[in-house]
């Protein structure tokens, strides 16, 4: 599929010219595709016509995808939308696709939605249609899931200034889905979408995109795409997004208060934010509340309440809730010790990619807790956790491989994983390195060191909450 900058129509070129003109950036106008040849001839004309065209260049304000934009298409009859769409009205095509996408006023039909989005996106270069079609490919709804194709459509829309698409494309870059992982690009895209702007018609300030603000806050908090973490900037961004009703940001504010990051530690205030996020459907907040009551952090311990919250989160697919409830069963917290039930839950979380559960299930297999003892299977699950970058999984895998418990001793792999665990700051791993190397020759040691240096962790990201979806 061709890149967005090879498909930009005349309206897109003019819109970009006028915006640059109003910003006083005349030298840049000649760099806009199609602009170099006639730049000198149109400079005066652009000044005269800019006011007339400015309103046509305006982007839609961010709106939750379940709420249609308030325009003349919102209340239009389906037959009227079809008629307008058949007359090459790309706005009508996009809105028609949105109705089929969300099941608004019609029976939901994702394939039909994809058809209308595609017509508006490819023939009309409609940025919202491009964004929405990208959402379908990202989520595998109505089409075969394809992150690469999703990224292409998000690029098309982002190039036209669509803030929803910039946010969605940043999300792909942050995770490395369909594009190489690049925190710097994600940071830049989120920054553009999160910035406040002025409405071209009223001159009033328009808030930044709430999801972009939240995601940018996470990068600031974790120091990704930056030289160092900045929790204070993260807090500001989370607050802006939370004020706009973003439940991800409400959850993240709960984390800030629970951990005392950039603010004074306040568990009760954290619970308020977690509860607000939970009421809006945030699964992670359910687990966070359960953890607080299980550990008695700032509140009396309440195992029964924690168990109920964990079970609620598990129904929504939370592997961390599975992991925590499995530990409660294993330790007999608020219930009779149940190692068989614990191992079943731990296995379920491990199979869904939770690294902590993988390491814990491996330990249960290694020691025969709730399951028959099996060193080969234990090594397998330790390796799954190790590949995600979990140091305890790397250490325990190395210890098994350094013996003949699995039927075969592998000192090269043992040293590799022990060295990686040591580089992650595990003191026990550092102490064991020399012991493993005693049985290795120079070639084996050199190979193990090379393997350790080449290691790149591949964490499994739990995506319980779908990123921003289609816009009306």
CA distances from 309 to 104, 267, 345 (A): 33, 17, 15
**What's the Cα-to-Cα distance from 3 to each of 11, 197, 222, 272, 341, rounded to whole Å?**
17, 27, 32, 46, 52
DSSP letters along 8-45, please?
A: --HHHHHHHHHHHHHTT-HHHHTTSTTTTTTHHHHHHH
Condensed to tens digits (0 to 9), the pLDDT of residues 163-174 reads 999 999 999 999
Among 50-64, 145-159, 346-360, 419-433, which stretch is predicted with the lowest mean pLDDT?
50-64
pLDDT in tens, 52-93: 333 333 333 333 333 444 456 677 888 999 999 999 999 999
Predicted confidence at residue 310, as pLDDT, reads: 98
300 three-class SS: coil
* Residues 285/275, Cβ–Cβ less than 8 Å: yes
Residues 167 and 190: beta-carbon distance below 8 Å: yes
Q: Which of 328, 337, 358, 338 is nearest to 346 (CA)?
A: 358
Lookup: tokens for 232: 């204070």
**What is the pLDDT, as a whole number, of residue 31?**
40
Among 126, 103, 127, smallest CA distance to 113 is for 103
Q: What's the pLDDT tens digit per position in 367-412?
A: 999 999 999 999 999 999 999 999 999 999 999 999 999 999 999 9
Residue 466 has what pLDDT? 63
Task: Give pLDDT, residue 425.
Answer: 86
Asked if 356 and 317 count as a contact pair (C-beta separation under 8 A), the reply is no
Distance in angstroms (rounded) separating the CA atoms of residues 167 and 76: 29
Report pLDDT for 344: 98
> Band of the pLDDT at 336, cuts 50, 70, 90?
very high
Q: How many residues does the chain have?
A: 472
CA gap 196, 231 in Å, rounded: 21
On whether the CB atoms of residues 429 and 395 are closer than 8 A, the answer is yes
Q: What is the pLDDT of residue 174?
A: 94
Query: CB of 301 within 8 A of CB of 293?
Result: yes
pLDDT confidence bin for 227, thresholds 50/70/90: confident
DSSP state of 5: G
- Give the Cα separation of 146 and 153 in Å (integer): 11
Nearest one of 472, 463, 467 to 169, comparing CA atoms: 467
Measured CA to CA, the distance from residue 264 to residue 380 in angstroms comes to: 43
């Amino acid at each position: 599929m061709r890149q967005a900058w090879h498909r930009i129509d005349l309206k897109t070129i003019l819109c970009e010219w006028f915006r640059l003109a109003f910003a006083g950036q005349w030298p840049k106008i000649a760099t806009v595709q199609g602009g170099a040849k006639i730049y000198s001839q149109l400079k005066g004309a652009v000044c005269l016509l800019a006011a007339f065209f400015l309103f046509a260049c305006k982007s839609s304000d961010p709106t939750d995808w379940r709420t249609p934009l308030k325009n003349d298409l919102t209340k239009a009859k389906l037959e009227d939308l079809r008629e307008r769409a058949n007359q090459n009205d790309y706005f009508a095509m996009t809105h028609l696709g949105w109705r089929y996408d969300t099941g608004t006023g019609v029976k939901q039909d994702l394939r039909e939605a994809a058809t209308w989005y595609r017509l508006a996106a490819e023939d009309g270069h409609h940025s919202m249609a491009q964004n929405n079609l990208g959402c379908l490919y990202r989520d595998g709804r109505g089409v075969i899931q394809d992150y690469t194709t999703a990224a292409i459509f998000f690029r098309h829309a982002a190039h036209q200034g669509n803030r929803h698409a910039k946010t969605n494309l940043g999300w792909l870059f942050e995770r490395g889905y369909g594009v190489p992982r690049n925190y710097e690009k994600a940071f830049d895209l989120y920054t553009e979408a999160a910035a406040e702007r002025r409405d071209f018609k009223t001159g009033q300030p328009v808030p930044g995109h709430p999801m972009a603000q939240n995601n940018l806050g996470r990068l600031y908090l974790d120091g990704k795409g930056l030289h160092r973490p900045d929790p204070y900037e993260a807090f500001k961004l989370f607050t802006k997004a939370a004020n706009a009703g973003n439940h991800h940001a409400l959850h993240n504010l709960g984390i800030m208060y629970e951990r005392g990051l950039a603010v004074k530690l306040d568990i009760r205030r954290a619970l308020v934010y977690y509860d607000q996020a939970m009421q809006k459907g945030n699964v992670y907040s359910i687990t966070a509340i359960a953890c607080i009551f299980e550990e008695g952090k700032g509140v009396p311990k309440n195992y029964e309440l924690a168990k109920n919250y964990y079970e609620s989160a598990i129904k929504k697919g939370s592997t961390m809730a599975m992991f925590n409830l499995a530990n409660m069963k294993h330790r007999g917290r608020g219930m009779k010790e149940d190692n068989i039930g614990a191992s079943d839950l731990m296995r379920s979380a491990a199979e869904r990619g939770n690294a902590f559960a993988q390491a814990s299930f491996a330990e249960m297999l290694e020691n025969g807790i709730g399951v028959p003892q099996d060193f080969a299977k234990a090594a397998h699950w330790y390796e799954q956790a190790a590949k995600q970058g979990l140091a305890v999984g790397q250490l325990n895998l190395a210890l098994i491989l350094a013996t003949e418990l699995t039927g075969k001793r592998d000192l090269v792999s043992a040293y590799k994983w022990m060295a990686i665990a040591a580089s992650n700051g595990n003191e026990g791993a550092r102490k064991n390195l020399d012991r493993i190397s005693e049985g290795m020759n120079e070639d084996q040691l050199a190979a193990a060191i090379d393997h350790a240096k080449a290691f790149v962790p591949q964490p499994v990201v739990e995506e319980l909450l779908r990123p921003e979806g289609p816009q009306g």
